[in-house]
Chain A
């Protein structure tokens, strides 16, 4: 299923300050959009997508916004644009945040991501949507994030990430 959101969805809406006081990913998954869309955390399923307009993830730098969505099983956030800290946090945590036009994606459209071809495939509507997924994001998505990557390859491997 696709969870459709509008423009300027800020991180206070994703993980509100009053609830955002735990380091536990499972706990964080329960507070995702707790006030903005209370049914989200209760019914979200592994493999669901978030579809949004412009400037998704603006506001606070809290990385729990990404941790919570990842812990909810969100496959990817697809938006017209992302706020910069949220986007960096997605790269670091290996959560796909995909730049693509999202106006014609509906709640029940079946989506697939073709990372190699940089496409969002709308199976239901039989449409291919051009997307942007930068090489750094792909590499860290495949490594499940920058911390597992550095743990495996050593701190010296940070430079290698930019030789893609």
Chain B
């Protein structure tokens, strides 16, 4: 019987052929826990172990609130630093965990556990990267293994050529509207079709990242020439093998869904749920005044995103009533932006550049919202209270829509500002 790519990766990490529905204990290639989830893993860790299973396979980034914005966060980070020192694990402070892992560690076919809900991001590289809580990360750090129920896969085919001003973020918002916050629960979402094949890895990471918002256990894109290109650029030469890491033609899917995006226009998710998606054109008519624009997060602040924003800001000034915050996803992205002159340019345009990391996405620092304020964000979550006051309103959109809104001061369709 044929297997999906997810079943193949699980099989390779169990040592026998496994299929959806089976309970397994699988070996892991990497375990990630960050500056909050790692803190909760430490006391339980010492309850069950003294040393981590392999210090080279544990990744601890400080990204959620770094440098520490308050005493409580500083306390959590001090606790993690002590643990990391005891275990001989270096702490990375170079940006958002999922971005750093994509740039440096994730290879196609890997099975990776991340103590963060947006762990499916890494699936854009053809790996299974699964989000868990701190206790699962604890056990994984101690044993190098984790238990799983092999999930069913939903295949999502996306076809059609995107129009100018429409990006992978718009595609995934349109899909999220269809799925809702639970439509992918417990499943692997496997993306394919010509549109996805034409996406670069950074654009793919936006699809897999947002899959977490539909409840997915993992999201995955079979590796191809785009994956080869990305890995080569990031010093990890790779040649893809369809037999090894593509779903078989007779693999069993729970469901196959087809989307045509030829006529798709820019999309935006209204607060407070991921599936309240409308066209930007429609929302623009409401003349919604914007207080803050956030271009950042693991969803959308790679250099390709900043290229788009740069071009738009070249032709237009930023609205002085909007706080425009740009947070490069990683040190690498920051350096790329620096080399291209973007950092100086954005600064002179009065945008606020923050250190690479999660930034204001989770409301802990660097751009917290007050009552009734409106934010257009390129991140992935528009929950009530996510970015500060529970009375603030978060709209999710592409970097282009965010940039257009920063120019006009209202939620704005980006197509006339490209």
Binding site for B on A (CB under 8 A): 8, 10, 12-13, 16-18, 20-23, 35-36, 54-55, 58-64, 66-67, 81, 83-85, 88-89, 92-93, 145-148, 150-151, 155, 158-159, 161-162
Q: How far is the CB of B153 from chain A (nearest CB, A)?
A: 15
Residues from chain A with Cβ under 8 Å of B49 in the complex: 155
Structural contact, A150 and B139, CB atoms closer than 8 A = yes
A13-B383, A23-B39, A36-B390 known; A81-B185 Cβ under 8 A? yes
Answer whether residue B227 sits at the interface, using C-beta atoms and an 8 A cutoff: no
Known contacts: A61-B132, A62-B133, A158-B145. The answer to whether A83 contacts B36 by CB under 8 A is: no
The interface-forming segment of B40-48, B257-265, B332-340 is: B40-48
A16 nearest in chain B by CB position: B385
- A58 / chain B contacts, CB cutoff of 8 Å: 181-182, 215
What is the bound-complex CA distance between A162 and B273, given in angstroms? 36
Given contacts A23-B79, A59-B381, A155-B49, 6 further A-B contacts (CB under 8 A): A17-B364, A18-B385, A61-B117, A61-B131, A63-B134, A150-B48
Mark contacts of B251-280 with chain A using CB atoms, 8 A cut-off: 1 yes-contact digit, 0 otherwise.
000000000000000000000010000000
Total interface residues on B, CB under 8 Å, equals 52
Closest chain-B Cβ to A92's Cβ sits at a distance in Å of 4
Q: Which of B79, B116, B135, B363 contacts A16 (CB 8 A)?
A: B363
Spell out B's residues near A (CB within 8 Å): 23, 25, 36-37, 39-40, 42-44, 47-49, 65, 70, 72-73, 76, 79, 115-117, 119, 131-136, 138-139, 142-143, 145, 147, 181-182, 185-186, 215, 217, 273, 362-364, 368, 381, 383-386, 388, 390
Bound CA span A25–B131, Å: 22
Residues of B within 8 A of A146 (CB): 135, 139
Which chain B residues border A67 with CB–CB below 8 Å? 40
Take A63-B133, A63-B135, A89-B133 as given contacts and tell me if A20 and B147 are in contact as well, using a CB distance cutoff of 8 Å.
no
Residues of A within 8 A of B273 (CB): 8
Contact B36 A21 (CB under 8 A): yes
- Which of chain A's residues have a CB closer than 8 A to the CB of B133? 61-63, 66, 85, 88-89, 92
Write out the residue numbers on chain A whose beta carbons fall within 8 Å of the beta carbon of B142: 155
Is B44 a contact of A147 with CB atoms below 8 Å? yes
**CA distance in complex: A143, B23 (Å):** 20
Cβ contact of A92, chosen from B70, B72, B135, B363, cutoff 8 A:
B135
Chain B nearest CB from A100 CB (Å) reads 17
Are B215 and A162 neighbours in the complex by a CB distance under 8 Å? no
User: In the bound complex, how far is the Cα of B215 from the Cα of A17, in angstroms?
Assistant: 19
Bound complex: CA of A58 vs CA of B362, how far in Å? 15
With A92-B135, A162-B147 in contact, is A12–B383 under 8 Å at CB? Answer: yes
Look across to chain A and name the residue whose beta carbon is closest to the beta carbon of B361: A17
Contact of A63 with B364 at beta-carbon distance under 8 Å, contacts A23-B76, A54-B182 already known: no
A162 touches B384 (CB 8 A): no
Q: List 6 A-B contacts (CB under 8 A).
A: A8-B182, A13-B383, A16-B385, A63-B37, A63-B134, A159-B25
**Which of B23, B40, B72, B79 sits near A63, CB closer than 8 Å?**
B40
Contact B36–A85 (Cβ < 8 Å): no
Q: Which residues of A contact B181 (CB under 8 A)?
A: 8, 55, 58
Min distance, Cβ A23 to any Cβ of chain B, angstroms:
5
User: Which residues of chain B have C-beta atoms less than 8 A from A35's C-beta?
Assistant: 384-385, 390
On chain A, the residues within 8 Å of B76 by CB distance are 21-23
Complex CA–CA separation, A161 to B143 (angstroms): 15
Chain A: minimal CB distance from B51 (Å): 12
* Contacting pair A83 B43 (CB below 8 A): no
A145 — which chain B residues lie within 8 A by C-beta? 135
The one of B47, B138, B363, B383 in contact with A10, judged by C-beta atoms closer than 8 angstroms, is B383
Q: Which residues of B contact A92 (CB under 8 A)?
A: 133, 135-136
A20 to B70, CA, bound (A): 12
Residue numbers in B under 8 Å from A8 (CB-CB): 181-182, 273
| Cα separation A135 to B42 with both chains bound (whole Å) | 28
> How far, in whole Å, are A35 and B388 apart by their CA atoms in the complex?
11
**CB-defined contacts of B40 to chain A, threshold 8 Å:** 23, 63-64, 67
Q: Which residue of A lies closest to B365 (CB)?
A: A18
> Which residue of B has the minimal Cβ distance to A147?
B44
Q: Known contacts A12-B385, A55-B185, A83-B215: does B25 contact A162 (CB below 8 Å)?
A: yes
Q: Are A147 and B185 in contact (CB under 8 A)?
A: no
List the A residue with the shortest CB-CB distance to B135: A92
Query: Closest A-chain residue to B138, C-beta based?
Result: A147
Which one of A12, A20, A60, A61 contacts B384 once the chains associate, using CB atoms below 8 Å?
A12
Q: Is the CB of A18 within 8 A of B364?
A: yes
On whether the beta carbons of B139 and A20 are closer than 8 Å, the reply is no
